[in-house]
């Protein structure tokens, strides 16, 4: 359980409903989408890359 957030964007990035939607990007049926060259710009727009870099995940 988290008692606070570093900043408002952290709260948005870690909202349960967002995490469920993000998880769907990595389900087996979406493999072709991840292979598409437009996928990396998508994760950049979703701020996933920044989050991954910050958490080294």
pLDDT single digits (tens) 3-39 = 454 555 556 556 677 777 788 888 898 899 889 999 8
pLDDT tens-digit readout, 36-49: 999 888 888 887 88
pLDDT of residue 2 exceeding 50, the answer is: no
| Residue-level pLDDT at 45 | 84
| Residue-level pLDDT at 10 | 58
Give the domain ranges of the chain: 31-57
- Helix, strand, coil shares, percent, the chain, to 5: 65, 0, 35
11: Cα separation from own chain's centroid: 13
| Residue-level pLDDT at 1 | 42
| Residue-level pLDDT at 14 | 63
């Amino acid at each position: 359980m988290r008692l606070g957030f570093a900043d408002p964007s952290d709260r948005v990035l870690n909202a349960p409903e967002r995490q469920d939607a993000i998880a769907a990007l990595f389900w087996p049926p979406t493999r072709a989408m991840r292979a598409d060259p437009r996928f990396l710009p998508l994760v950049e727009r979703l701020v996933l890359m920044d989050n991954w870099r910050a958490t080294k995940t």
